[in-house]
Structures are given as structure tokens and as C-alpha cells.
Amino acid sequence: MFRPLVFYIGLRYVYGQKTDGFGRFVSWLSMIGIMLGSIGLIVVLSVMNGLEDQMQNSILKFFPQAQITSKTGRIDTTVIHSKQFENIPGVERITPIITGDVVLQSQQSITVSTLMGITAEDHDPIENYVYTGSIDSLQAGSYNVILGQTLANQLGVLVGDKIRLMVTDASQITPVGRIPSQRLFTISGLFSVNHDINQALIYINQSDAKNLLRYPANNISGWRLFLTHPLDISSVTNRSLPDDLVFTDWRAKRGELFQAIKMEKNVMGLLISLIVIVAAFNIITSLSLLVMEKQGEVAILKTQGLSRFKIMLIFIIQGASSGVIGTLLGSAIGLLLASYLNELMSVFGLSFAGIELPSLVEPSQIVFIIFGLLMLSLISTLYPAYRAANIQPAEALRYE
């Protein structure tokens, strides 16, 4: 019968504090602090999740996420087959790939890029982004090339123009000196993804790439792995491989970018967590003031037979209520803001033309934030509640 009474008294302290204005102010301040902290954590982490997901789809989708190759950079497909690696957990599919650094020369300019030798049967992700021409134009012996829009603008070329591709790593020694492997290619298509991909990659037929790189028959650069979770690359690359085979992955060329995003995400989360920590100290302060104010009432309850545990529970309920209300309100508002962030920014005139903030709400993160804030609020009540439970009735009632 005392359990409802404990909750009744605890909740009455929440709504019935009329005498101590400062303590009530601190209590409200702690609730608002936890609410703002939960809003900030949900919105900021959702934006960082969205940015990470956007970068993953716009960059890691096109660069080889992971690749099995040899220490020499070549694999003989008659010796090493893709079937050996089909059972690696986290790998969706495997395709052969030929890749290398290449110099591009037009009549107007010269630049460098990364060559990707593919076939139409590979269903490379780039095929959905070719807006002029088609991947089907990359037939063996056609010596066609598909460029990104940025690279085409830089070279000053259009579909149908010819450019020279040169590979310095495949140079030959001649009587007149070292001459790189080179050949004229016809531009058969253009693609557009983003500035980085448009400039970083070019696509030619895999057989033509072998000839340009002077690969022996049946040789490829490696087996390209398409992963279910590209950011969780370590779970794949930590697996053992046969002798002379090694893993390479996207971290070699884009690792610093994603590491910077991850670090920024952690730092922003830590800074906003400081708001919550301050709010937790406010809970301790407000509850300590309430304990001092209610010493006489606590003493009377103890003389009536209420146990120390139930006394603690009364003040835990009172103190944790600020955290519960702040967490639930903040989480609801935070989810609303994260879901309609760009619309709200547009309403308040904070958006820029053509620019939207990516936002991705991760349910597991929301659960972790809510659970963490509730636990922090609960822990913050323990010391003041313990002090209340240790009040001696004789001492507290001496001057009453």
C-alpha cells in the first residue's frame, strides 16, 4: 500500500513546491537543459549521419570499396578465382577490375585521373549516372572512354572528340628513352555524380585497359568487392588471405575525409553533452535544496514508519521527473526537427538556394540518447536522496 503513497508524495513535491522559488527555478532550469541537450544531440547526430550517408553514396559507391589484389598489383585469373572469396561475410558481389593512374591529354589541356576498366556485364554503379552515351559503348577494341562532366570541361572536349591516354607505370625503354604506354581514345559518353567523382574517375573497356596497361593475358588488377556496409571495412579486411594476396580499400584514398567527419561527429556530440551534464548538476542542486527544505516532513514520515528506501524513492521520483520530462519533450522535438530540418530552415529563411542539409535518424542512436539521459537523471538524484534517507528525526524536529 505504500508504493502508491511514495509516488504520490514524490510527484506532489514536483508540482507542489511553492515556498522555495530558487529551488523551483533550478529544477525548471535542469529540465530545460536536458530538453535542449536531447534536442541538440538528436539533430546534430542526425545531420552528421546524413552527411556520412551522403558521402558514402556519392563517393564509396563508385570507388572500389575493397579490393583483393597481389603485392605486385596483378592477379592471374586462371590461378586465383573469385569463387574463393564469395563466402566472405559482408560482401554482396565480386567483379574483376583493372585500374591505374592515367594522364589525359587533349588539344587544350592535360590532367590526371584514375582509370577504371569495366564491362557492361559488371553493372558498375556509374551506368545510372551516364547522361550522354551509354556504358554499352565500351566494347572491346572500340577504345572508347566515358568521362565525368568536370573532367570534360577541364579538357575542353565533347562526345565524339578524341583524347590521348598515357600510363607512365607501363612505360617501355626505347633507344630514344622511356616512353609511356599511350593511345587515342574516343569520348563516347559523359556522366555526372559530383565534382569529386566527375574529376577523379574515367571508364574504358576492360580489354582496352589491359592493352593500355600492358597486362598479360588473363591478368587483372584484382577482385573488386561490393560491401553491404562499406564503412565497416575492418570486418572484411581483417580476414586472412592466401599468400601474396592483400586487401586494399577506400581508406587509402578517402580515409582522411571520413575520419574527419567521424571526429567532427564525436566532438559535436561531446560539446552538446556538456549541456546535459550541467543540467544533471542542476538536478543535484535543486534536489539538495528540496531536501533541506523538507527535513521536518521527512522526519515526520520516518516517525510514521516509512523506511529509508521509500524516503530515497520519494526524492528519486521528484528529481528524476525533471530528467524524464526533459528527455521525452526534447526527444520528440528533436525527432521533429531532424525529420523536417530543411523545411523548417526554409520557413525561417535560414536555407540557401539549392543547398539542403542531409539528415538521417538512426533509431539505435535515439534509443541510446534517451536511455543515457534517463540514466544520468536517475544517477543525479542518488546523492540528495541518500542524504534525505539519513535525516535523523530527533535532529530535524528539534527546532520545529
Residue with cell 521509500: 310
Q: Is the pLDDT reported for residue 352 higher than 60?
A: yes
**Using CA atoms, how far apart are residues 110 and 103, in angstroms rounded to an integer?**
7
Stated pTM of the model: 0.72
In contact, 154 and 109? CB cutoff 8 Å: yes
Strand partners, 16: none
| Distance of alpha carbon 150 from alpha carbon 330, whole angstroms | 44
Q: Under a CB-based contact definition with an 8 Å cutoff, are residues 55 and 241 in contact?
A: no
Domain boundaries, the chain: 2-56+258-396, 65-249
Query: What percentage of the chain carries pLDDT values higher than 70?
Result: 88
Place 1 in a pLDDT band, splitting at 50, 70 and 90.
very low
Residue 255: count of CB within 10 angstroms of its CB: 12
The burial class, CB within 10 Å (0-12 / 13-18 / 19+), for 213 is: buried
Q: How far apart are CA 182 and CA 387, in angstroms?
A: 83
DSSP three-state, residue 307: coil
Residues forming a β-bridge with 102 = 113
H/E stretch holding 69? strand 66-70
Please give the DSSP secondary-structure letter assigned to residue 85.
Answer: G
Q: How far apart are CA 205 and CA 82, in angstroms?
A: 20
Q: Give residue 12's pLDDT.
A: 66
Q: What are the backbone dihedrals phi and psi of residue 11, each rounded to the nearest 5 degrees, phi first?
A: -70, -30
Q: Is the pLDDT of residue 111 over 80?
A: yes
**231-245, 313-327, 350-364: range with highest mean pLDDT:** 313-327
3-state SS, residue 355: strand
Closest by CA position to 205, among listed 128, 112, 163, 143: 143
SS3 41: helix
pLDDT higher than 90, residue 295: no
Cell numbers that stand for 130 in this block: 551516364
pLDDT score, position 186? 93
From CA 93, how far away is CA 131, in angstroms rounded? 26
DSSP SS3 for 33: helix
pLDDT digits (tens, 9 = 90+) for 35-65: 998 998 999 889 888 888 887 777 777 878 8
pLDDT of the residue at 165: 93
- Chain segment 156-208, per-residue pLDDT in tens: 999 999 999 998 877 766 666 677 788 999 999 999 988 778 888 999 999 99
What is the Cα–Cα distance from 311 to 381, expressed in whole angstroms?
A: 12
The letter for the amino acid at 272 is: I
**Section 330-349 average pLDDT:** 85
pLDDT digit string, tens, across residues 216-256: 888 888 888 888 888 777 778 777 787 788 888 887 777 77
